Structures are given as C-alpha cells and as structure tokens.
Structure 1
Amino acid sequence: MRAAVARWTVVELLHPIPSLLTTLAALGFAWIFGIGPRDRRFWWIGAVMLLVQFSISALNEWADADLDRRARRQRPIPLGLVSRGAALAIAVVAAVGAFLLCVLADLGPFALLLVGIGTACGWAYDLRLKATPLSVVPFAIAFPLMPFWIGALAARPLSSLVILFLGGSPLAAAIHLADAIPDRDADRAAGLRTLAVALGTPRAELAAAGLLLLGSLVSTILVIRRGQSSTAALSLLAVVASGLVVGLSSRAGRISSSIGKWMVIAAAALAAVPLVAQASGR
C-alpha cells in the first residue's frame, strides 16, 4: 500500500489529472475544428499538449520545492522521492520533446512558435509570476492560445480566431482567480502576493465573477451578430449562469470558495464552447 502511495506521489510531479484534462480539452477543440481521430494531427496535438503540460508541471514542482518543504506539503521533492535536478531535467526534456514532435509532425513554423509561446507562459508563471498579482497574465494568454493554435492547424483564417482572445482571456482570468481564492489564506501566510491575496475579500470574488460575465457577454454578442442561433442559446445560458455567480459573489461570506470555484469553471466552460464553435466556422 505504501509503495503504491509513493508511486502516485512521484507521478504527481507531472500533475497528471490537470495535465490530462487540459489535453482532453485540446482534443475536444481539435474535434470542433474538424480535426478528428482519423486525422494524424489529432494525435500529434494530444501528444504535444501533454508534453507541454508535463514540462510546466515538473518546473512548477521544482520552483516550489523550498516553499513546499517549509509548509511540509506531501510533494515528491520535499519527500525525497524525486530530486530537484531530476524535476528540472524532466521539465526541459518534456519541453524539448514537445518542440521536436511539432517538427516531426510537420505542423509548420507558426504552430511551433505558438507552442513555444504557450510553454513560455507556463514557465513564466512557475518561475516569476506565480507569487505576484501578475499571475493571471500567463493564463489570460495561454488558455485562448490553445484553441487559437488548433484553429491555425485547421487552416482557419487568423482574423476569425481573434475572438478567442476577446472572450477567452476574461474567461481564463476568471478561472485562474476563482482557483486561487480557496488558497488565499495559505498563500498570504506563506508571504505570497497573488492576485487573490492582493484583491482580498470580497473584491477577488467580485473580480472573478465580473471577468466571467464579461467573457460570457463578449461570446454572446459575437455569436448573435453572426446569426448563429443554436450557439447563441448556449451563450445566453452562460450569461445567465454568470449572472448567478455574480449575485452569489456579492455575498462572498455566504458561499464556500470551493463551490464558487467550480461554479465559475462550469460557467466559463459553457461560455467557451460557443466561442470556439464560432471561431471554427462550424
């Protein structure tokens, strides 16, 4: 039993669940853009995304090793299951592997550039921005960059993909802020000044809800202007859900931050689907 726990703890260096969920999201976006399992690019997209996530995750563990040790967190490096050098090596090898896959798959220089930008966002968060109010910036760039990258691979006009940033960046910022709120007290105690810490209660909750509502409204306006009635209905539902989150956030003391976090994630995902569908032209 202990051996199994130890093995899982080692695997946690790669943040397997978030990494797999992000990869599945990328594959879902690929499908929306018309790149299905019968297209070899579908599997290349999954492999590249998984390696990028592994790289960012391993570097995050490397960068947080001292903080985790002081906080006595049950993480691979403080427990002595993985050395800091090994974690850094895994981060570098995974990143290089992602770039090599882009080359081997012949995805093109622009796709390689976008993968580099996405990886750089993750590394910047790990190494510099995580403990600052600017921690939201890499998320606001990297999350909409993922469907933008896939849309470029699907040969969609870049002008039609810009809407992914107009609506996706506020949604990504809302998710990041909502995810950081439950850890706000622990981060403050550790001396970290994340955006959630800097804003405090209830401004962080209201900011997350406001960003969610902004992204949902942008998504809805863009979709309705293009006459997409089916996706417009989904966008309107996202706006209603966002409004509910805003209302509950105004009573921040009456709702669990963990529940609020998952409400924001669910509403943001709901708003993102018609946004990506609109960008795909389907």
Structure 2
Amino acid sequence: MLAATHPAPAAVVTALALVFALGVGLDAGRTVLVTAAVAAGQLSVGWSNDWLDAARDRHVGRPDKPTVTGDVTPRLLRTGAFVALGACVVLSFATGLVPGLLHLAAVASAWSYNARLKATALSWLPYAVSFGLLPAFVVAAAGDGRVVAGWTVGAAALLGVGAHLANVLPDLEDDDATGVRGLPHRLGRRAASVLAPVVLAAGSVVILLGPPGAPAGPSAVLAGGAVVLAVAAGAVGLLRPRSRAPFLLSLAVAAVCVAQLVLAADAVALPG
C-alpha cells in the first residue's frame, strides 16, 4: 500500500504544504490540519492512480507496481482511495469553508487526471490546477484575510506542468501500448524531453523575480543553476532523447524550484 501511494511525489507535495504553512505563519493546530489534509489527499490520488491503472500495468508487466506483483489488489486500493478521500474532505473543511473548497478542487483535479485526462491533450491541466491551488489553499487556511501572491500560483503551476512532462518520460512506450496518449506522448519523446526542463526553469525564474524587492542572493544562485541544468537537459533531450539524462536533469531542476519555494515561503501571502 505504501508503494502504491507514489511515495516520493506525495512526500514532496506534503512537505511543500508544510513549508508554506510555516512560512505563512499558521499556528500549530492549523499547520497540522493543512499538512494532514494534503497528506490524505495525496494518499487518495496515489491509490486511485494505481487502482484505475491496474489493468494497464498488468498488460505491460510493470514490475514496480504492487498490483502487478500481487502484493495488493485493485479492490483494496479502491477502498483505500475512498477512505483517504473521505479523511481529506473532513480535514480540508476543518480549516474553513473557502480553504476546504480550494483544496478539494485541487484533489478533484488530480483525480480527473487519473480517471480520464491523462490520456488526452489536456493531461497537463490537472497538474497546473492542482499545484497552483496548493499555496492558495494554505494561505486561505490562515483565515486572516491575506491572499496568495500571484507569482506563487504561477510558479507552482509551472512546477506542476514541468513535473508532469518529466514524470512520464520513462513510461512513454508503456503508456502508448495501453492507449494513454497525453500531451507528452503527442509531442513525442524528443520534444517532451526538451520542453520539461524549459517549463521548470521558467518556474524557477518566476520564483526569483516574483517576490517584492531585489531578488534574494540564494534564490538567484539556485535560478542560475536551474537554467544551466535546463539547458543541459534540453540539449541531451534534443540529441539523445532515449537517454535517461533528460529525465534525471529535469528532476534536478524541479528540486531546485522546490528549494526556491522553500526559501521564499514567507512571501507567498499578501495583505488582503
């Protein structure tokens, strides 16, 4: 069950929510609620993904999927997904009506990817919506009238889209074999390998320039590193699209973006 949660991205998203909560200055109780709500939402998204993809994963023999190895059944994942979703609803609304609706919209968007949109040209949209709504949820959960900074929503949305483009690179052929043709599949491996780091680097630049005042030194250094990594990833993706290097370098750019967001967490909210 743990492996079926997609633990790495789930942990990153949950940790990012915690960092935002601390940066915005939520009290301990609200910080716990926000983090728990996001964790429950991530569990529901991960389990629903492997439940809905069970037949496809078996068809291509994915050895990394618990439903293929027989360690867990799709029925158990379905049950877990809906139990986690129920907990997510309760925890989200415990932070307030508006933040609750924002977070549930983000989770619903992620479920829409699992259920249908992953196989369409709009596969990027749930990532943009869900990631963009994350900081909006955290700021609204403060309940003090502050609003989320626009640059934060834009940067988080770019991070989500870039992560989507990069995340599917290792599975393009398996996805094609089971009829899943999202935007990266339609673009092709070479174009997706180049576009993923470019979108992520754009997010890094937004994080650098978005907060008020002069760009912070550490963020500038990270943004410079992100651009260098993106150029390297794009070049390798253009010349050797079947290499794993574009995927790994894109992950490195995404990690830089997350680090920048952590550094700028105290600037994600504006006075109402």
User: TM-score, normalised on structure 2?
Assistant: 0.86
Tell me what 2:67 maps to. 77
Deviation, structure 1 residue 197: 1.7
Deviation, structure 1 residue 160: 4.2
Tell me what 1:21 maps to. 12
Deviation, structure 1 residue 35: 2.4
1:229-252 Cα deviation digits (max 9, x unpaired) = 4x5323322431232133211332
**CA–CA distance in structure 1, aligned partners of residues 255 and 123 of structure 2:** 21
Q: Could you tell me whether the CA contact under 8 Å between 1:164 and 1:276 is conserved in 2?
A: no
Q: Which has the larger displacement, 196-205 or 112-121?
A: 196-205
Q: Could you tell me whether the CA contact under 8 Å between 1:219 and 1:274 is conserved in 2?
A: no
> Are positions 1:86 and 2:76 aligned together?
yes
> Are positions 1:35 and 2:23 aligned together?
no
**CA–CA distance in structure 2, aligned partners of residues 101 and 171 of structure 1:** 25
> Are positions 1:138 and 2:126 aligned together?
yes
C-alpha distance 126-73 of structure 1, shift in aligned 2 (>3 A): same
Tell me what 1:177 maps to. 165
**CA–CA distance in structure 2, aligned partners of residues 165 and 263 of structure 1:** 21
> Are positions 1:257 and 2:242 aligned together?
no
What is the aligned residue count? 265
1:135-162 Cα deviation digits (max 9, x unpaired) = 2111111112112111111246555432
Q: Which residue identity does 1:82 align to in structure 2?
A: V
C-alpha distance 11-220 of structure 1, shift in aligned 2 (>3 A): closer
Partner secondary structure for residue 23 of structure 1: helix
C-alpha distance 155-192 of structure 1, shift in aligned 2 (>3 A): same
Deviation, structure 1 residue 57: 1.0
**CA–CA distance in structure 2, aligned partners of residues 246 and 21 of structure 1:** 20
Q: Could you tell me whether the CA contact under 8 Å between 1:139 and 1:173 is conserved in 2?
A: yes
**CA–CA distance in structure 1, aligned partners of residues 10 and 41 of structure 2:** 9
Deviation, structure 1 residue 266: 2.0
Partner secondary structure for residue 134 of structure 1: coil
1:107-152 Cα deviation digits (max 9, x unpaired) = 2111110121011011101100122332211111111211211111
**CA–CA distance in structure 2, aligned partners of residues 140 and 239 of structure 1:** 21
Q: Which residue identity does 1:142 align to in structure 2?
A: S
C-alpha distance 58-184 of structure 1, shift in aligned 2 (>3 A): same
**CA–CA distance in structure 2, aligned partners of residues 250 and 52 of structure 1:** 36
Tell me what 1:95 maps to. 85
Alignment of 1:237-256 (within 5 A): 237-248=221-232, 249-252=234-237, 253=239, 256=245
RMSD: 2.5
**CA–CA distance in structure 2, aligned partners of residues 20 and 169 of structure 1:** 18
Deviation, structure 1 residue 191: 3.3
Tell me what 2:183 maps to. 195
Tell me what 2:99 maps to. 111
1:190-232 Cα deviation digits (max 9, x unpaired) = 4321222211243212222321232233333322xx21x4x53
1:35-74 Cα deviation digits (max 9, x unpaired) = 25xx111211222111111111111111101111111224
**CA–CA distance in structure 1, aligned partners of residues 122 and 218 of structure 2:** 31
> Are positions 1:59 and 2:44 aligned together?
no
Unaligned runs of 5+ in 2: none
User: TM-score, normalised on structure 1?
Assistant: 0.83
Tell me what 1:46 maps to. 35
Aligned partner of 2:218 among 234, 241, 252: 234
**CA–CA distance in structure 2, aligned partners of residues 178 and 80 of structure 1:** 28
Q: Percent identity?
A: 28
Q: Which runs of 4+ in 1 moved over 4 A?
A: 156-160
Tell me what 1:120 maps to. 108
**CA–CA distance in structure 2, aligned partners of residues 124 and 101 of structure 1:** 21
Bigger radius of gyration, 1 or 2? 1
**CA–CA distance in structure 1, aligned partners of residues 253 and 121 of structure 2:** 20
